A and B are shown apart, each in its own frame.
Chain A
Amino acid sequence: MREVRCDVLVVGAGPAGLAAAAAAAEGGQSVIVLDENPHLGGQIWRPQAAEANQPSRSVSPRAAAAPPSAHAHRRAHAWHQRAQKRGVIFETGMTLFDAPRTDHLLAVDAAGQASAFSAQQVILATGAAERFLPFPGWTLPGVMGVGGLQAMVKGGMAVRGKRILLAGTGPLLLAVAAFLLDHGAHVVGIAEQASRAAVRRFGTSLWRHPNKLVQAARLFTRLRAVPLLHDAWPTQAEGFGRVEQVRVAAGDRCQEFDVDLLACAFGLVPRTELARLMGCATQSHIDGEIVAVDRWQRTTVATVWCAGEPTGIGGVDLAVAEGLVAGYAASGAFKRAGRAARRRDRARAFAERLDRAYALRPALRALPTDATVVCRCEDVTWQAIRAQPTIRQAKLQTRCGMGPCQGRICGPALAFLTRATPAAPGTATQTTTRPTAATTSSHAAGPSTGWTGDRVRPPLVPVAVNVLIGAGQAPLANHQPSPAPSRHQEISL
């Protein structure tokens, strides 16, 4: 197995990871950045397939994989250039699957070759994923994530002339709707679960952020011909082998749409599994479990730092600022980290307003019926899952969350579905009137945060047995969730 050493290892090459890598390298550290995607820039700076036709603009002589900036988004390319000037090495297509020690991480590439990375400091910039809520028909082909569909289109999927409904919550719906129009799609509607009043309150608060206001105005102009429903969510998708019709509850009315594709996502979920595997503490937040960090983005493990969405969903500006703080602080450049921290705090205020405006309403907990598959990997229904008292019991008894995705899709959904908050009066959906988990007696004594944070175990993703053997260990048997302090663990502030 290939073994690589560096001062600072950055996991994730999105906005936070790129900024962290550049900052740490400017602080004099040798830096390696890993990303599981074939491109740099994460999900938000994902390149368009057509851009791949551009000739390679810069090739790192030290890069082990294909030159990552050849297929880069403009802003990702700029950060890549800045980091590369300081000798940062990028390895794309590298999926982390274990961290036997907090200074020793194992990854596998697309060809199934494993590598071990040893670093004195690790910066986690693992990003976010979309939150999917189960409703009847959500497993039909053609029902995708909002960001998921955008990623597919950027990956070359044609949507010209396709009838597409977007549903879920947040400004991402509007941004992706405009993106789809630009690619020739027929956007038949947008169903936003938040109330018109909440969205309007958020809109009027944008005067504090003039650039966001300009963006919003542009979006609404572009989308003026698209029906925009508030208090609205999909209650059923139907079709033969693929989605063909979607029923949407909008206030007290019900609307049907004929579609080729349904894109839906109910906000973003921080990706914390690697941080939790490494023993970093998390805390409850409106976005779900987030990685706890101090003002320098340092986690509860002294040599591990975290930046971007895993510390709370906040968007690209916040992610870049947090990345700079983490990168400078990890290299001991606390003066520069302090300047970046002020920029971070301004960006966080915007994120908090966004969270409040687009908070998920309790009525969405009634979306799945008994027969609705909640765990897609193992085809486990809501009826089977909600009979269990805890996520652990659900895993043991039903295999829920035990498939290839390791609960990354159903976990955030269940955390929401089982959260014990009283349902708002008069907001029942049209799917069913059966009790939700929140009112089922077995859950009455459960934590108000819902089912979150079952222990994370390696491997984080499915890897071939020969890779595990080649990694020189048996992670399932010997893994230590709380590693002994390493000699690098104490650094002075």
Chain B
Amino acid sequence: MENRLQLTIDGRTVWVAPGTTVAAAWVDLHAPAIRRSVAGQPRGPLCGMGICYECRATVDGHPHTRTCQTPCRDGMTITTDR
């Protein structure tokens, strides 16, 4: 697809427009839950600006990446602990 970025999110392939954040790509693909809290509760993005750490996931092997602060790049692999 022209002018689209290809990502792999938890094994699924998705295409997004340039400028999309990883958090936005994830929420569009699934429910807003991205991870589990220390007590096992489902959590999703809250602040959208990189301070709450609720949207963190493993991006290209980097754990605890704040996905709301991470623009999508072509070929990116995202793994969540949903």
Contact = CB atoms under 8 A, between A and B. Distances in A.
Interface of A: 36-38, 43, 47-53, 71, 93, 110-112, 129-130, 132, 139-145, 147-153, 155-158, 241-242, 261, 373, 376-379, 403-405, 408-409, 462
A144 B46 CA distance: 4
B12 interface: no
Contacts of A379: 37-39, 41
Contacts of B16: 156
Contacts, number: 144
22 contacts: A36-B50, A37-B49, A49-B18, A52-B19, A130-B47, A132-B46, A139-B37, A142-B44, A144-B44, A144-B45, A144-B46, A144-B47, A145-B47, A148-B45, A148-B47, A150-B48, A151-B48, A156-B21, A403-B38, A404-B56, A409-B46, A409-B52
B19 A47 contact: yes
Contact of B19 (A50, A132, A376): A50
Most chain A beta-carbon neighbours within 10 Å: one of B48, B65, B71: B48
Given A155-B23, A156-B19, A242-B33, 13 more contacts: A37-B49, A49-B24, A110-B65, A110-B69, A129-B47, A129-B51, A141-B31, A141-B33, A142-B44, A143-B46, A155-B21, A379-B41, A405-B52
A49 B37 contact: no
A140 B51 contact: no
B19 A147 contact: no
A152 B21 contact: yes
A414 to B, nearest CB: 15
Contact of A147 (B41, B48, B53, B64): B48
Contacts of B53: 377, 403-405, 462
B32 A261 contact: yes
B27 interface: yes
Contacts of A144: 32, 44-48
Nearest to B33: A141
A140 B37 CA distance: 11
B48 A36 contact: no
A130 B54 CA distance: 15
A410 B43 CA distance: 16
A206 B73 CA distance: 45
B17 A242 contact: no
Contacts of B39: 379
B34 interface: yes
Interface of B: 3, 16-21, 23-25, 27-28, 31-34, 37-39, 41-54, 56, 62, 64-65, 68-71
Nearest to A378: B38
A314 to B, nearest CB: 19
Nearest to A265: B47
A147 B49 contact: yes
Contacts of B33: 141, 241-242
Nearest to B64: A462
Contact of A148 (B20, B34, B48): B48
Contacts of A132: 46
Most chain A beta-carbon neighbours within 10 Å: one of B43, B47, B54: B47
B70 A52 contact: no
Contacts of B31: 141-142, 241-242
Nearest to B56: A404
B19 A51 contact: yes
A71 B19 contact: yes
Closest 9 CB pairs of A and B: A52-B19, A156-B20, A141-B44, A151-B48, A148-B48, A155-B21, A49-B19, A157-B24, A404-B53
A37 B34 contact: no
Contacts of A158: 28
Contacts of B49: 37, 43, 129, 147-148, 151
Contacts of B71: 38, 52
B30 to A, nearest CB: 10
A185 B20 CA distance: 18
Contacts of B45: 144, 148, 152
Contacts of B70: 38, 110
Nearest to A52: B19
Contacts of A409: 46-47, 51-52
Nearest to A158: B28
A142 B31 CA distance: 8
Contacts of A242: 31-33, 42, 44
Nearest to B55: A152
